[in-house]
Structure 1
Amino acid sequence: MRSRRVAIAALAVATSLAVTACANRGGGGETSSANYPSKDLTLIVHAGAGGGSDLTARTLAKELESDLGKSIVVENRTGGGGRVGLTYLKDRPADGYSIGFIPVEVAMLGHQGADIKPEQYTILGQIMNAPATISVPAESPYQTLAEFVAAAKAAPGTITVANSGAGAIWEAATLALGESAGVTFKPVPYDGGAPAVAAGVSGEVKAVMAGVSESGAAAKDGRLRVLAVLAPERVAALPDVPTAKELGIDVVIGGWGLMGAPANLPAEVKQRLADAVHKAASSATFTDVMTKAGNTPMATSPEDATAFTQAEFQRFGEIYQK
């Protein structure tokens, strides 16, 4: 079981898709989109305020407001490693007034018993990738990844590592790191990356697995010590932090994020939103915030993002069946 989950984790390696112009063939049904949008929108985020997903969503929302000419209210609906927020989004009316940040978990949770599948959403585009980090509290005795791994080898299953939720990507990253290092950690789930990082800072856990945008700020002000980045190469936000591979542990894993809405969004509304998302994700403000946070900003078409998400869902399914 553990090997299967680790294999799943390896599939979540951040994938760079080419930035393309938004085109549309999606949606359907009647629509009064000539006046769309005629009221404010709600943007659903599956994770808590202050985390990487929340930062991405709120940064994009500001850019979308300028284009759409309406306010966008960001609503955090946390719980279940993304299940609560994703379920709420898919069950909203497909009228264009409920949109959401859709994380990598949309390709994972359906294979863990949740009624969540990519086709339950209208995908508007991929907007970011996020490499993982493994960090310890500033006062931790572990100065290096080697020392941290040695501690786990000495006491298997006792080194607690906070993550963003059971079944979510950072739990998978914890298992992947342990598998690659030949040790067993004890994952501890929280409702999002921000609470997980807070647990790491406070010393409630021995370590925290989170995205660069979530751990970076705490690392820069000295509250956390990032031992390694689980990325192919060092990231600009933490240039002095080595990759796990540099340190002899060959593991690369990260999350990704899309913008979407409930399935069956009217075609004209989908086109308007997809164009706005592409413009916002391509803006200097969004790309600057994402890059400084350690994420990779992206702006792909609905078609490319939909195909990517379906492929990820299918690959996760193949692993779960083994």
Structure 2
Amino acid sequence: MAAIRRAAPATVLACVLVAASAACAGDRSSGGSADADKYPTKDLHLIVHAAAGGASDMTARALATEMEKDLGRSIVVENRPGASGSTAMKYLASAKADGYTIGYLPVEVSMLGHRGYEVKPGSYTLLGQVVNVPAVVVVPGKSEHKTLDDLVKAAKAEPGEVSVANSGPGSIWEAATTLLGKQAGATFKPVPFDGGAPAVAAAGGGKVDAAVAGVSEVAPLLKDGRVRALAVLDGERSKQLPDVPTGKEQGHDVTVGGWGGIGAPGGLPAPVAQKLREAVRKAAQSPGFTRTLTNAGAVPTYRSAEDFATFAEQEYARFGGVLKSAGS
């Protein structure tokens, strides 16, 4: 009996360990799969790097509205501005990879790593690109520069003297100016402002020779003639600015824009990632989302998760050289 009493605890312990091991294995396989099949079972949070009311916030909310229809759950948009957008992007990267925290990833996800922030495209499970806002080059309404080539020739004649307003050091519109200069072999004088709209206003007031910003930011001043658009730096003309030629049409093949997409923390379970990717695809191609973005001057641009991941890494490599040469 004594021997049996001594053996019993060990036997019981072994059974407990075996049962626990089996339970854990079930959580990782069949149980985990079952949970993924039921996903989502609660509301989601969509993290946005910008304050409410801006272009990124508008895009995120419009997409969330469409994604809710497919997922059958509410998506709560959570604005976390700060530190050039890195606050939100770092928060997203560190969140639990369960599919309940996703985020809007702007072009800066491919830029901030070159400015000392711990933000890189590879930190996320990318779910798809949804938008692009092409750069537009504008000059004061009464400027002597009638074409993009006029502006480039002036910059070549007087390197560093032709002032071009942008949305700040390390911003996408500063990068656009730098890319144009590198392609054309010209040196512009960058003049930073706190956003694209103030940069365009400076051009409208004749304080700078030109400005680079997005379509929605230049549209108000274009209408009243305070600025004139010389080029859209995109592969094709803007539907909002059909009379404005692209840079390529004028011999300056530069394509750059303020793109954005949706991502989640790295390591997202495959079944959950697939559901989210499909929801993003449907939302990004929906009539409601397309109409909202088009009316705002943005270009609905869908790229699959795989293509978006490749594109974001290519942009990361491209902006490395651009931001270094810009001194950002």
- Equivalence for 1:11: none
- Equivalence for 1:50: 54
How far the C-alpha of 1:260 sits from its partner, in A, is 0.8
1:168 & 1:41 partners in 2: Cα distance? 26
Matches within 5 A, 1:1-322: 34=38, 36-39=40-43, 41-46=45-50, 49-51=53-55, 53-68=56-71, 69-75=73-79, 77-80=81-84, 82-138=85-141, 142-153=145-156, 155-190=158-193, 192-201=195-204, 205-293=208-296, 295-313=298-316
User: RMSD of the TM alignment (CA)?
Assistant: 3.6
Unaligned runs of 5+ in 2: 1-28
Letter of the aligned partner of 1:299 in structure 2?
Y
1:189 & 1:92 partners in 2: Cα distance? 33
How far the C-alpha of 1:125 sits from its partner, in A, is 0.8
Structure 1 stretch 223-232 or stretch 280-289: which is displaced more? 223-232
Normalising by structure 2, we get a TM-score of 0.72
1:302 & 1:271 partners in 2: Cα distance? 9
2:261 & 2:143 partners in 1: Cα distance? 35
How far the C-alpha of 1:173 sits from its partner, in A, is 1.2
2:201 & 2:67 partners in 1: Cα distance? 30
Letter of the aligned partner of 1:279 in structure 2?
K
Whether the 8 Å CA contact 1:48–1:193 is kept in 2: the answer is no
Please say which structure displays the higher CA radius of gyration.
2
- Cα distance change of structure 1 residues 226 and 314 upon mapping to structure 2, 3 Å threshold: closer
- Cα distance change of structure 1 residues 183 and 316 upon mapping to structure 2, 3 Å threshold: closer
Task: Flag the structure with higher helix content.
Answer: 2
Letter of the aligned partner of 2:210 in structure 1?
A
Structure 1 stretch 254-263 or stretch 195-204: which is displaced more? 195-204
1:320 & 1:207 partners in 2: Cα distance? 20
Aligned residues with identical type, % of pairs: 51
1:320 & 1:261 partners in 2: Cα distance? 26
Letter of the aligned partner of 1:44 in structure 2?
V
3-state DSSP class of the match of 1:72?
Answer: strand
- Cα distance change of structure 1 residues 174 and 47 upon mapping to structure 2, 3 Å threshold: farther
1:192 & 1:261 partners in 2: Cα distance? 27
What is the aligned residue count? 293
Letter of the aligned partner of 2:42 in structure 1?
S
How far the C-alpha of 1:319 sits from its partner, in A, is 8.7
2:323 & 2:224 partners in 1: Cα distance? 40
Whether the 8 Å CA contact 1:78–1:192 is kept in 2: the answer is no
1:245 & 1:315 partners in 2: Cα distance? 19
How far the C-alpha of 1:244 sits from its partner, in A, is 2.5
- Which whole-Å deviations, capped at 9, do the CAs of 1:19-67 have from their partners, x for residues lacking one? xxxxxxxxx995955362523523313477433x344323223222333
- Equivalence for 2:17: none
Structure 1 stretch 289-298 or stretch 174-183: which is displaced more? 289-298
1:198 & 1:37 partners in 2: Cα distance? 47
2:168 & 2:32 partners in 1: Cα distance? 39
How far the C-alpha of 1:180 sits from its partner, in A, is 3.4
- Cα distance change of structure 1 residues 270 and 203 upon mapping to structure 2, 3 Å threshold: farther
2:253 & 2:303 partners in 1: Cα distance? 29
3-state DSSP class of the match of 2:264?
Answer: strand
Normalising by structure 1, we get a TM-score of 0.73
- Which whole-Å deviations, capped at 9, do the CAs of 1:113-136 have from their partners, x for residues lacking one? 332222211111121333221113
Structure with higher RCO (Cα < 8 A, 6+ apart): 1
- Which whole-Å deviations, capped at 9, do the CAs of 1:227-255 have from their partners, x for residues lacking one? 21122332221011122333343433334
